[in-house]
Amino acid sequence: LPFVNLTGGVRVMLDYANWLHDAGHDITVVYPCWPYRFQYTRRQQWTEFGKHRRQKSVPWFDLRCPLTRVPLVRGRFLPAADLVIATAWPTVHDVARLPERCGRKVHIVMHHESGTGKEHRVQGIYRYPLYRIAFSRFVERTMTEQFGCRIDEVVPNGIDQSLFFPDGETEPNTVLLLYHPDGRKGAADGIAALVGLRQRVPGQGLRHRAAAHNLTRLDGLRVPSNRPGAAPALLDVDRPPLPEPVRGVRPSTTRSDGMRVPRRDDRGRGCSGVRGPRSRRTHRPPRRRRGHDQSPGGSPA
């Protein structure tokens, strides 16, 4: 793994690690102590390094197989194995250079990871002769058509019914949509389908709930407004309460939790999202007017 932060992709891979471990396989999850560059500045890399250098477990996940933190993903730090699996694009560059004793090289392709680093480095992973597995036919088709990347196997993800299951009473004619601003999440397609459904079945008591923190405007979609006399919206939007603001962190609209994501244009500007201490001006004593200076004896000089 590139890191063990809480993301959807990392969660999926840790789930697979647990399931393979429970099936009797010898599984070890490996991630580097020195973080990959991605789109971080050098200062942000040092910040990430400081946060995880003493971390010996995944605090947000019950991992049942061994977790190993190595200085770098290099052959001298990894054990011999039958398979070695790369995930995010920086890990693919390192796995492709590992010796044969580390095992057959496999790449889990979730999507094209644009925007997470230099584009030529992201696309450069497709030239390696790794065995590639995708989680959907859509990913297989887009990777093949757009980048000429061969996908050897498609293995759709299952649903963990211990986490996702019907709970409580189901309201009739209700559709729930979770919104995310990243276009790869497909929220625009879901919203278009909901708008079309309401137009096709008017007056049937359909309730559309789009849960989002930062949904303010979409093309062709009127979002509810609290202003008096505002036009009725095509969809209702539930905005869950935001978490309490973190001291020293400035709010942003780039993420729904109020934290600012490092971007390419933040290079050279220090640690994105975290304010440093305010600069303090040196206070000088007020200048005295002429004729008001006091002599040692207490009388005007």
Q: 297: which 2 tokens?
A: 């004896």
d(Cα 86, Cα 94) in Å, to the nearest integer?
A: 9
d(Cα 230, Cα 224) in Å, to the nearest integer?
A: 8
More confident residue, 108 or 199: 108
**What are 128-159's pLDDT values in tens digits?**
999 999 999 999 999 999 999 999 999 999 88
Q: Residue 19 — pLDDT band, cuts 50, 70, 90?
A: very high
Q: Residue 269 — pLDDT band, cuts 50, 70, 90?
A: very low
Calculate the dihedral angle through the C-alpha atoms of 188, 190, 192, 197, rounding to the nearest 10 degrees. Answer: -170
Q: Show the DSSP H helices in the chain as ranges.
A: 8-22, 42-52, 89-96, 119-123, 137-147, 187-200
Q: Residue 262 — pLDDT band, cuts 50, 70, 90?
A: very low
pLDDT at 179: 75
- How far, CA to CA in Å, does 178 sit from each of 5, 68, 126, 208, 218? 22, 34, 32, 11, 14
d(Cα 270, Cα 79) in Å, to the nearest integer?
A: 37
d(Cα 265, Cα 261) in Å, to the nearest integer?
A: 11
Q: What's the topology of domain 8-154?
A: Rossmann fold (3.40.50)
